[in-house]
Copies of this chain bind each other. A is one copy, B any other.
Amino acid sequence: MDLNDAFYFVQVVEKGGFSAAARSLNIPKSRLSRRVRQLEDDLGVRLLQRTSRVVTTTEVGEEYYRHAQEALARFETAETAVRRKTNTIEGTVTVSCSVGMAQFGLDQILPRFLQDNPGVTVVQRASNQMEDLIKGGIDVAIRGHMDTLPDSSLIQVKLARVEWHLFCSPEYRGAIEQSDDPAVLADHPALVLGRPRERHQWLLTDYGGQTASLPGRVRLASDDMSTLKNAAAVSLGIAALPSYVCRQDVEAGSLVRILPSWTAGRPQISLLMPSRRGLLPAFEAFLSFLKQELPAALGCDAPTATPRRGR
């Protein structure tokens, strides 16, 4: 059963003949003749009676026409629905990111995107675990990573490099020796992201490229950056966190950066998405919005690299 044959049949009926239908569809009438005959053979019944001048539907043909016509109208609807979504900026975009990115990165820019694109719904899935994009129906993930990501089948787009710094409360800093030498801060109480290892230590780099390691006593380990930040603000110890997470607290004076010539890492922020083909305008709008706005929101004014094709 070839569904296209039904379409051809309906066209012949509606245009009142093979030649008329062929002209209207811009296809040779030999095709119509063959396909309609094929349909009749498949159904085992004659749908049209023809002379060289007149074509009329048989009783069964009439009935088949009615149903097939409705079916085709449905397909029309299906296609129109898709075309509308592909021509207007509307639909749902699902974005996955870490809780920290949600709270201190997207938080600042998402409202603007939603105001600019009233037809778009954004579903944010904030999680500190990396999810399977395809299983989870996620359109794009925003992820930070130190070294190059494993070469999965996902598309990767580099957005920005952010810096991690060491932070503590002004009071805490007042109680310790002022120095730019990491060694003097060894074995201070550490507020650590993620699960801690036996011997915790931060790996530091200075702007000349020199590296140093700073061991600490883990007092609090959490997946949540906000929790660590607050712990540091109440002088529980030292935390290494992305600069954008602590910016407001630094400006407000509740946190201070220590060892300011050292960074605790410069992870790459990248977008991950399943495919680049056949994207909705809504999604493309979201993508270009992220590329343009997120680096600034994270405090790095320019993307550091050009997109790269994965796979």
On A, residues with C-beta under 8 Å from B are 1-4, 6-7, 40-41, 43-47, 49-52, 54, 56, 58-60, 63-64, 66-68, 70-75, 77-79, 81-83, 85-86, 91-92, 132-135, 137, 153, 274-275, 277-280
Docked-complex contact B278 and A54, CB < 8 angstroms: no
Contacts of A66 in B (CB 8 A): 78
Given A3-B3, A51-B153, A59-B280, list of 15 further CB < 8 A pairs?
Answer: A2-B4, A3-B6, A3-B7, A43-B82, A44-B86, A46-B278, A50-B134, A54-B132, A60-B82, A60-B85, A60-B86, A60-B280, A64-B81, A71-B74, A71-B77
Given contacts A44-B86, A82-B45, A134-B50, contact A75 B275 (CB under 8 A): no
How many angstroms between the C-alpha atoms of A3 and B73 in the bound complex? 12
In the complex, residue of chain B having the shortest beta-carbon distance to the beta carbon of A85:
B60
Q: Which listed residue, B63, B74, B79, touches A81 by the CB 8 Å rule?
A: B63
How many angstroms between the C-alpha atoms of A116 and B198 in the bound complex? 93
Docked-complex contact B43 and A86, CB < 8 angstroms: yes
Q: How far is the CB of A138 from chain B (nearest CB, A)?
A: 9
Docked-complex contact A46 and B279, CB < 8 angstroms: yes
Contacts of A77 in B (CB 8 A): 67, 71
How many angstroms between the C-alpha atoms of A70 and B78 in the bound complex? 10
Given contacts A59-B91, A71-B71, A134-B49, contact A6 B78 (CB under 8 A): yes
